[in-house]
Amino acid sequence: MHKIVIVGGGAGGLELATQLGHKWGKKGKAEVHLVDANHTHLWKPLLHEVATGALDSGIDELNYQAHGKKHGFHFHLGRMSGLKRDAKVIELAAIYDQDEEILPQRELDYDQLVMALGSVTNDFGTKGAAEHCYFLDGRQQAEVFHQKLLNQFIKANGSNNPEELSIAIVGAGATGVELSAELYNTTEALASYDMSQFNTDKLKVSLVEAGPQILPALPRRISNAAKRELEKLGVSVLTDTLITEITEHGFITKTGEVIEAKLKVWAAGVKAPDFLANIGGLETNRANQLTVKTTLQTTLDDNIFAIGDCAFLLQEDGKAVPPRAQAAHQQASHLLKVLTALRAGKKAPDFVYRDKGSLVSLSRYSTVGSLMGNLSKGSMMIEGRLARIVYVSLYRLHQIALHGYFHTILLSLVGHINKVIRPRLKLH
């Protein structure tokens, strides 16, 4: 039977596996296999909420094994480590529980391979970044930061005169901006749980951006609106500030200034995983992304496709498709059409990215962004309640792609119930 292997269970990979499972897997027309190094899926734009405790990942995460059983695909726990193109085989690294081998090194053959490995934070080789910074690439990293943050609050609350807690974030894209605002929401919420010794006056958050504006992918007026909201909260927004080194005590700028910070987060730039660089002789760029044609097929192998953050595709205007969740969603939907056309012996359709705008949530304080993007002559700025509704709807669309409308309505209802019966924050 024809075998399609998808590596990576992020937004694009999981949506594609789900749709292919329904279309061919359940009907016995093809074998659909999903490979991921984790047991569960969590929508990546939610990680900043996990990091601050605003979201309990145990409630929102999805188990790949159970989802595959329900939707007609096979799940393989493992981390891809190599590719043998001639043999049409991918290699999976062994899995260990401390010193005990749980699964040996394995191989998985394919007829068509889809790379949907997403991206990881790019520290650009900055000295000290790996040793002293927190990264928010996955649920486990976000939960490690959450525990450290919570411990700092507990320590401060146990003091009659708590010290100032300084947190610095490098990178003022969506993750950095949203995390900055969420930290103030967390601080305020903790006061209602008998932790009132520490308040926002003792919280010092610095948001550092090397470029001239925060949210560089958005129009200037939206960036300015977000900056005003952050500064109202107390965030120190530093633009045109390049970090050259990180020490235990803080960030060192190009001009030699020191931005002191107890907790340091690096959220500047993304790249595809390092092992993808020229994997199997395929064409990749400096960010390790696989170069693809407009059919989403890799340039040197028509049986290998790439979608999402690990794919590099130039548009007609000469700009690359941006590494956003909406791009991964669009490419997953389009690749389903491509695979269907190729199966029928027809010409594969070309992918065209449609920018539907971008939204940034500043926790419960505000939401700002633009709608329509290149679907109109310009972008329409929205903020406040309307922007928040649209922001939440993006996650609902992802859930609909995975579960269908009825199941998503139930999940939404459960979410509202949890807001009533569960604490506002994850306190452990």
Q: For residue range 93-111, list pLDDT tens digits in order.
A: 999 998 999 999 999 999 9
b (16+ CB within 10 A) / e for 82-106: ebebeebebebbebeeeeeeeeeee
The ranges of the chain annotated as CATH 3.50.50.60 are 3-119+272-343
Task: Please identify, in words, the CATH class of the domain defined by 121-270+357-421.
Answer: alpha beta
DSSP 8-state symbol, 300: T
The CA-to-CA distance between both ends of the chain, in Å, stands at: 47
Helix (H, G, I), strand (E, B) or coil at 377: coil
| Fold (topology level) of 3-119+272-343 | FAD/NAD(P)-binding domain (3.50.50)
pTM across the whole model: 0.93
pLDDT given at position 62: 96
pLDDT given at position 418: 87
**Does residue 155 have a pLDDT over 60?**
yes
pLDDT given at position 380: 66
Residue bearing tokens 């690990």: 310
Contact at 8 Å (CB) between 360 and 48?
A: no
Contact at 8 Å (CB) between 39 and 168?
A: no
Mean pLDDT is lowest, of 93-97, 335-339, 420-424, for 420-424
User: CA separation (Å) from 129 to 40, 51, 135, 140, 295?
Assistant: 27, 18, 9, 18, 37
DSSP 8-state symbol, 22: I
DSSP string covering 61-120, please? -EEHHHHHHHHT-EEEE--EEEEETTTTEEEE--EEETTEEEE--EEEE-SEEEE----E
The ranges of the chain annotated as CATH 3.50.50.100 are 121-270+357-421
Helix (H, G, I), strand (E, B) or coil at 324: coil
Strands 203-208 and 236-238: parallel
Residue percentage of the chain with pLDDT more than 70: 96
**Does residue 383 have a pLDDT over 80?**
no
Helix (H, G, I), strand (E, B) or coil at 274: helix
Which neighbouring-strand residues pair with 82? 91
- The predicted-structure confidence for 304-327, as pLDDT tens digits, reads as follows 999 999 999 999 888 999 998 999
- The predicted-structure confidence for 239-262, as pLDDT tens digits, reads as follows 999 999 999 999 999 999 999 999
At 375, is the pLDDT very low, low, confident or very high (cuts 50, 70, 90)? very low
pLDDT given at position 215: 92
Residue bearing tokens 């992304």: 289
